[in-house]
Structure 1
Amino acid sequence: MDTRRLRYLVELANRGSMRLVAEALHVTTSTVSQQLALLAKEAGAALVEPDGRRVRLTPAGHRLAGHAVTILSAVEAARLDLAPGATPAGTVRVAGFATAVRRSLLPIVGELARHHPDVRLLIHEHEPAEAFALLASDEVDLALTYGYNLAPATFDPAVHAVPLWTTAWGLGVPTAAPAGGSAVAVFAAFRDHDWIVNSRNTADERVVRTIAALAGFEPRIAHRADSLELVQDLITAGLGVGLLPEHWPLLPGVSLVPLTDPAVTMRAYAVTRRGRSGWPPLALVLRMLRS
């Protein structure tokens, strides 16, 4: 089987539309259709079937797409293995959430410039869902993502995730806040307040709703903000309360109430497509991030 055609099948499994596959791979829709038809002929089985005005994978198509992920990863690993000792050189494209860019990526920029001047970083600020989409379409080489202990991150079999660090989170509230303690008791104390959650990711909202449910109420989600600085501005203005990481610089007028039983922790991950982490410049960046 032609591995290029397997790539079309994997993309269709991920995107669900020939048009979206064509856009991602910069070809025409008719090219996608033709390549999948040739792949079906090679496989000796129907791989797609009509679904209204669109198409969907047949059971055989789903099975082959699963094998294709492994096959394509193996091919990529084999290609990289031809030059295992190559000097790191090239541009590593990174999509990551702002805190990870600040905490993990920016500190290694100087060392790269001093000791590996041929390795360049291109940084795009994105929340996890956006970063995963860019990684799946091969628009970035590395995604920095996160999950919470109460809203764990899930990873597609086509990617490889390496844990980087964890940090505890508390509840950001107006100054003169109560002492920390049981998360359920803390949340109950603010049950009548408006709540602030992330605008571009649902994980922290899932955490808020989980603890609120344990406290016996449904939080009134009123505001959505991606920037932690803006979340603090909203709290200072008296517009609500929201989760904030511990040890984060607090603005005047904001207090952080620690949470326990259950605690809230966030874990950051470095995520790559399977078979890609051996590429010398990417392997170097991953080593530096882990250290």
Structure 2
Amino acid sequence: METRRLHLLVELSRLGSMRAVADVVGATTSTVSQQIAALAREMGTALIEPDGRRVRLTPAGRRLAEHAVTILAEVEAAHLDLGPGAEPNGTLRIAGFATAIRAHLLPIVAGLAVSHPRVSVLIREHEPAEALALLATDEADLALTYDYTLAPAATDPTVHTTPLWTARWGLGIPAQADAGPGPASEVFARFAGQDWIVNSRNTADETVVRALGSMAGFTPRVTHRADSLDLVQDMITAGLGVGLLPLGSATHPGVRTVPLTAPDVVLRAYAAARHGRLNWPPLTLVTTLLTRQAP
């Protein structure tokens, strides 16, 4: 059923004349009559009957008009609830990497419980490729992703990305190792004979490691893979190799992070959503809050 036809039926039940309905909605009497007839065909029953020189609703027509009032009110409520200017309301499904969830999303979720209690957030921890796959299959509304300046992510025309924050990364090495800050190729060259630790669920940091190894004239021997940065540090402490770590983050006593320059290694975080969802108030709200708190 088309809601505009239901609207005409409601007006006919209120005004009692095709001409009066036509005047109210700015159409011709013929148009109103045709739309009511189309509605009757859709319903499979007569909705009006002659009443002298006028028409009146049949019992079925009156009953449908009663339903139409409720239906049209619900449609209007949906427009108000989902429109760009509506009060955020609903469940937002977010898939993102652990650091973004822990350091940036969780404080926002805690605040939403007070500022926007009608918004609920469902969180799933995933690396970028996994989060974007959930976005593509409509199993997530927002994906928190990242790439590196030396390993930019491929673009997807169906997805809109909002930059959030950046963070410099360095090389995590044993605390006692003899190495200091410097050009990335020189720092990497000092560890050419070491085993290398990369992410087990994302290839971006391995791409960076191999690119910088190539600049230093060697192919890194990748032997260990771990998703947890704490586990990467444990592996470094145990003498299993070296790997990329974020600068400025706390390190284990047996680990230190050497800054890399020329080129810098910079992680770039994004909020990604499908174009058709961008104006949904809960999504807009959380994306805005993430952007505001980004350093």
TM-score where L is the length of structure 2: 0.70
Q: Deviations over 1:244-269 (max 9, x none)?
A: 00111101100111100111000000
CA positional deviation for 1:81:
10
1:187/1:211 contact within 8 Å kept: yes
One-letter identity of the residue aligned with 1:135:
L
SS at match of 1:250: coil
Alignment correspondent of 2:221 = 220
Task: Name the larger-Rg structure.
Answer: 2
Matched, 1:152 2:180: no
In the alignment, what sits opposite 1:132?
132
Partners of 1:126 and 1:80 in 2: CA distance? 33
Q: CA deviation at 1:176?
A: 2.1
Partner of 1:284: 285
Task: Tell me how far apart the structure 1 counterparts of residues 276 and 125 of structure 2 sit (CA, whole Å).
Answer: 24
Give the match for residue 7 of structure 2.
Answer: none
- Does 2:111 correspond to 1:111? yes
Separation of aligned partners in 1, 2:134 and 2:210 = 28
State the 1:87 CA deviation.
Answer: 1.1
Q: Which residue of 1 aligns with 2:99?
A: 99
Q: Is the 8 A contact 1:155 1:161 kept in 2?
A: no
Q: Is the 8 A contact 2:141 2:283 kept in 1?
A: yes
Determine the C-alpha separation between the residues in 1 that align with 2:84 and 2:161.
21
1:198–1:226: 8 Å Cα contact kept in structure 2? yes
Alignment of 1:256-271 (within 5 A): 256-271=257-272
Take 1:80 and 1:263, find their aligned partners in 2: how far apart are those partners? 48
* 1:228-239 alignment, distance < 5 Å: 228-239=229-240
Q: CA deviation at 1:110?
A: 2.1
- Counterpart of 2:229, as a letter, is L
Q: What is the alpha-carbon distance in structure 1 between the residues aligned to residue 155 and residue 206 of structure 2?
A: 19
Q: CA deviation at 1:180?
A: 0.8
Confirm or deny: 8 A CA contact 2:82 2:280 kept in the other structure.
no
Deviation of 1:111 after TM superposition, in Å, equals 1.5
Query: Match for residue 188 of structure 2?
Result: 187
Deviation at 1:80, TM superposition (A): 9.2
* Closer/same/farther in 2, CA of residues 108 and 82 from structure 1, 3 Å limit: closer
Taking a change above 3 Å as real, the CA distance of residues 112 and 223 of structure 1, as seen in their structure-2 partners, is same
CA distance in 1, matches of 2:87, 2:267: 35
> What do you get for the CA RMSD once the two structures are aligned?
1.4
Q: Say which SS state the counterpart of residue 173 (structure 2) adopts.
A: strand
**1:205 has 2:206 as partner:** yes
Aligned counterpart, 1:248? 249
Between the aligned partners of 1:202 and 1:83, the Cα distance in structure 2 is 39
**Partners of 1:254 and 1:233 in 2: CA distance:** 9
The residue aligned with 1:168 is 168
Q: 1:131 to 1:80 in 2, by over 3 A?
A: farther
> What secondary structure sits across from 2:277 in the alignment?
coil
- Partner SS state of residue 123, structure 1: strand
TM-score by length of 1: 0.71
Secondary structure of the residue that 2:150 maps to in structure 1?
Answer: coil
Letter in 2 for 1:160: H
Please, which runs of 5 or more residues in structure 1 have no aligned partner? 1-78
Cα distance change on mapping 1:136 and 1:282 into 2, 3 Å: same
Q: Deviations over 1:193-236 (max 9, x none)?
A: 00000000000000000000000000000000000000000000
Once the two structures are superposed, residues 133-179 of structure 1 have per-residue CA deviations (whole angstroms, 9 ceiling, x without a partner) of 00000000000000100001222100000000000000000012311
Q: Are the equivalent residues in 2 in contact too, given 1:90–1:119 (CA < 8 A)?
A: yes
Work out the CA distance in 2 between the residues paired with 1:161 and 1:268. 10
**2:82–2:281: 8 Å Cα contact kept in structure 1?**
no
- Letter in structure 2 aligned against 1:107: P
Q: CA deviation at 1:104?
A: 1.7
Inter-CA distance 165–82: structure 2 relative to 1 (3 Å threshold): closer
The alpha-carbon distance between structure 1 residues 168 and 279, as it changes in their structure 2 partners (threshold 3 A), is same
Return closer, same or farther for 1:143/1:80 CA change in 2, 3 Å cut-off: farther
